[in-house]
Structure 1
């Protein structure tokens, strides 16, 4: 269910990866947070990273997010707001679901160049906006896969090597690009999932009650600064931080700068 957990003082950071990725993508950031005295859990969502399920065995967004929901539910500081959830990219939607389910456990949620929905609107609005903004050739050499699930055929994508290098890891090291090429798995965005279309799913009383921080990645070639700030505009109470010179995978290209932002969030929640 999870990788890289350690106990210590301070907050408990729960790191949630984006589409096709896994807990492995936080390998630079996790030790920095641990060295600062915080507990860190990097979660593999269903059919991601080393999670044993295959993509066709995960028929719903609820099932996909289950490892995160279980990790939050099992946190031993019950209702003490000890958790700082960090969602990257598509992982922001799973974080939003955890905030709705367990608002009294979460001190803050950090959305890193992430899909950040707002209370009272369907989560899928953020995904549809992304597809509205990108050109048809955006996914380059990525593969589209049809999954035969218990809920009927669904579509997944496997991010291609050229896309990874050009639009996600364009400011990261060659080693990071190589690691991603070896470890990415097919990812399902669940665009037709009922949960993505439910206007009543995220409420002001639960999701809206948790402190939200959006980290704008200024040099992101995958999600433009304009798109990131559009999501912030949907939730005007969101605090904004910026990281200059980072690509979409800011945890790889600018881990120290990202760590500084997260430590500041943790200190403000103390």
Structure 2
């Protein structure tokens, strides 16, 4: 489904799309194509040791190092330019860090079934709560990278968990693509435990939207909504029929949802309750 192009340059937005763990900026290719065809500017950075970034995971010792390509991108923006910052899955923690460091450069932060820190707890809090759940990890592999445990624990998606939990709505071709381009990654939980909470004055000042993926088998809807209860946002949206990789399974719906959010990023909470919008197209 094609998106209508913005009527003028003033309505064109700059989207920065941030991927989750073990994938790369490539995962946004369907969404990015639709947004660009509608006249928007789109950046899809590869975080460290992800996508085509040449570094192995063992050379990325902290979450800051992992997120640095995103931080460098925002730091390079000209004065006065603001972006719509979108994070998927673990990318939510990266965009939260970016909001903390560059709140003046972010028009809105959008969390797509993404881990969302608050400004009361260490950035690891939502990840720790998620890991406490009794999830069947199937053939997911978690391994130490060094005998001393100084490097982040690595993680690798096996074919069974990839198909059942993350790509269950995706086409066989998208599943094959995802498996072919997948890299070893980390959630950097131990490092994030040591970091101070992101602040209300900076991270908390950025307007936020959470997109709930209704058929996500990896970060279940209930946990997505728990994160919103833990840290209320300006707006909650829903996409039905989307698995965790909505970037690939429902790209038209997600792109239209993001474009709509970009045009209405000033939406605010009414009477203390975040409005819910259903992204059905």
Q: TM-score, normalised by structure 1?
A: 0.91
Instruction: Write the distance in 2 (CA, Å) between the matches of 1:175 and 1:41.
Output: 24
Partner of 1:147: 145
Structure 1 window deviating more from structure 2 (201-210 vs 141-150): it is 141-150
2:53 to 51, 54, 58: 51
Instruction: Write the distance in 2 (CA, Å) between the matches of 1:69 and 1:150.
Output: 29
Instruction: Confirm or deny: 8 A CA contact 1:217 1:247 kept in the other structure.
Output: yes
| Unpaired stretches in structure 1, ≥5 consecutive residues | 1-7
State the 1:154 CA deviation.
3.0
Instruction: Write the distance in 2 (CA, Å) between the matches of 1:203 and 1:151.
Output: 29
Partner of 1:178: 176
2:16 to 3, 14, 17: 14
1:112 aligns with 2:109: no
Instruction: Confirm or deny: 8 A CA contact 1:19 1:188 kept in the other structure.
Output: yes
Partner of 1:192: 190
Partner of 2:80: 79
Return structure 1 stretches of 4+ with deviation > 6 angstroms.
none
Structure 1 window deviating more from structure 2 (234-243 vs 218-227): it is 234-243
Number of aligned residues:
257
| Unpaired stretches in structure 2, ≥5 consecutive residues | 1-8, 267-281
Partner of 1:213: 209
State the 1:120 CA deviation.
1.9
Instruction: Write the distance in 1 (CA, Å) between the matches of 2:147 and 2:111.
Output: 30
1:229 aligns with 2:225: yes
- In proportion to residue count, which structure has more strand? 1
Secondary structure (helix, strand or coil) at the match of 2:189 reads: coil
Q: TM-score, normalised by structure 2?
A: 0.87
Instruction: Write the distance in 2 (CA, Å) between the matches of 1:201 and 1:74.
Output: 25
State the 1:29 CA deviation.
0.5
Instruction: Write the distance in 2 (CA, Å) between the matches of 1:241 and 1:75.
Output: 28
Q: CA RMSD in A?
A: 1.7
Instruction: Confirm or deny: 8 A CA contact 1:172 1:252 kept in the other structure.
Output: yes
Partner of 1:266: 262
Instruction: Write the distance in 2 (CA, Å) between the matches of 1:149 and 1:182.
Output: 29
Partner of 2:155: 157
Q: Structure 1 pair 48/111, CA: closer, same or farther in 2 (3 Å)?
A: same
State the 1:151 CA deviation.
7.9
Secondary structure (helix, strand or coil) at the match of 1:167 reads: helix
Instruction: Confirm or deny: 8 A CA contact 1:43 1:68 kept in the other structure.
Output: yes
